[in-house]
């Protein structure tokens, strides 16, 4: 399986642990990892209703019920059952040889904004051109 540009594979939990849908944090993102019929799946762990965690919800055959207000999702696709076209974000997942589930997640956004980066480069460029003296002509 290839890695998407701007994303990386991250090791999470064992497939035994993920037999129960389990919340992990991957690259700063809450992800719910679960194994359905031997295949690992990963979705964003944020209910579309109010953003609460789905962990602890009742799960039968890959369909989890949010423990708060009972919205239901198919963890294989992220589909919100009963509302066509609504999906939880999903992430590629795979099983490593040692039984650990790996999840591919977009790399974390840089902590410095593009504006700050450009300003830093501009300042560094000016510094390299020599000092600007005020009040001289």
Binding site for ligand FES (CB under 6 A): 47, 49-50, 52, 66, 68-69, 71
Q: How far is the CB of 81 from ligand FES (least distance, A)?
A: 12
Q: How far is the CB of 75 from ligand FES (least distance, A)?
A: 14
Q: Which is nearer to ligand FES, 24 or 47 (CB)?
A: 47
Q: Which is nearer to ligand FES, 68 or 106 (CB)?
A: 68
Q: What are phi and psi of 5, to 5 degrees?
A: -65, 135
Alpha-carbon distance of 89 to 78, in angstroms, equals 6
Q: 78 with 29: CB under 8 angstroms?
A: no
77, with CB counted inside 10 A (0-12, 13-18, 19+), is middle
Q: How far is the CB of 121 from ligand FES (least distance, A)?
A: 44
Q: How far is the CB of 48 from ligand FES (least distance, A)?
A: 7
Alpha-carbon distance of 60 to 74, in angstroms, equals 10
Q: Which is nearer to ligand FES, 57 or 104 (CB)?
A: 57
């Amino acid at each position: 399986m290839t890695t998407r540009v701007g994303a990386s594979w991250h090791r999470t939990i064992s497939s035994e642990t993920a037999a129960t849908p389990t919340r992990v944090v991957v690259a700063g993102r809450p992800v719910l990892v679960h194994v359905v019929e031997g295949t690992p799946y990963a979705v964003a762990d944020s209910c579309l209703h109010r953003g609460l965690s789905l962990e602890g919800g009742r799960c039968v055959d890959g369909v989890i019920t949010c423990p708060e207000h009972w919205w239901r999702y198919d963890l294989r696709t992220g589909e919100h059952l009963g509302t066509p076209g609504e999906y939880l974000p999903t992430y590629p997942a795979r099983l490593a040889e040692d039984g650990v589930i790996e999840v591919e997640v977009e790399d974390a956004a840089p902590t410095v904004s593009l504006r700050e980066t450009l300003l830093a480069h501009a300042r560094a460029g000016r510094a390299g051109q020599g000092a600007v003296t005020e009040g001289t002509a």
